[in-house]
Amino acid sequence: MMATGTVLRRQVGRETEALRATSRIPVTDSRIARIAGSTRTYQRFASGKRTNLTFPVIGALARLFGASIEKQAELERLWDLVDETSWLQSIDALTRSGFHAYIELERLACRIESNETLFVPGLLQSESYMRRLFERSGRYSPRRIDELVEQRCQRQTDFKRRGETVHLDVLMGEAVLRSACPRDQLESLLEADAQPNITVNYLPFSVGPQPGLELPYHVLSFTEDDDPDLAYFDAPDGARYIESAEAVAEFRNARALGSRQAKSIKELEL
């Protein structure tokens, strides 16, 4: 399993252990051992180590520790993702669910570096822009489009609530801004760039193609030192996550080189 599973596994363990500490139930309580199989298994789980626990077990532990129904469901859902055997997610699965591991990882990240070649990143899309993208795909019914727009808007709201605990650094090709990008979307990007935790830059046409920036991708960093940085990108057959430190460094270096030639969104001449 790739590092995405590692990050999510540690996060679920930390959150569940925090619930236990708040509930003041001792780790040696027989109820924990009965649910998890043994005290040692629970301790391994809480510390982020691999176990054979299933997501219903995680829900039962959260319930024992007094978690709300919503929190139980959240931890179960995260653990179900941890339990995946492969971190290549099919496009069909993503479009059916409207949800995938990247969204959860995004919520955990303290820094998101985004390279965009085709579209404005989802966290900064105006409602009219995202709606038009969904409509033009030809894959969704009007009702499903409404649901997807609502989900993406909620994702943006969740991001804004985190404030300066997370930084978003966006680098876009100028083509993104020139290709049917409506006025309200450009204004939205300017407003975002004015926030202390968001940077929006673009690569002018004049600098030409940049090696390593041909495809859109994201690099995520996390607050915990032992949670590795990740690179994420969409491939024709699904979504991929890269954990190799060397590979992530290559993504980041290519982006850094491009950023040196980039301009602020405030400098865009319409």
The predicted model scores a pTM of: 0.72
Whether 169 has a pLDDT exceeding 50, the answer reads: yes
Cα 239 from Cα 87, distance rounded (Å) = 8
What pLDDT score does 4 carry?
61
Q: What does the chain come to in residues? A: 270
Q: What is the CATH number of domain 88-267?
A: 3.30.870
Show me where the domains of the chain are located.
Answer: 3-82, 88-267
pLDDT confidence of residue 210: 87
Give tens-digit pLDDT for 62-84: 999 999 988 888 888 888 777 55
Cα–Cα distance for residue pair 141/145, rounded to 1 Å = 6
- Taking the alpha carbons at both ends of the chain, their separation in whole angstroms is 46
Ramachandran bin of 89, using left for φ above 0, alpha for ψ from -120 to 50, beta for the remaining angles: beta
Provide the pLDDT for residue 11. 82
pLDDT digits (tens, 9 = 90+) for 197-239: 999 999 999 998 888 898 899 999 988 766 788 888 876 666 6
CA-nearest of 56, 52, 65 to 14 is 65
Answer with the residue of higher pLDDT: 106 or 195. 195
Here the tokens at position 41 are 């298994």
CATH number for domain 3-82, candidates 2.40.160, 1.10.260, 3.40.50, 2.115.10: 1.10.260
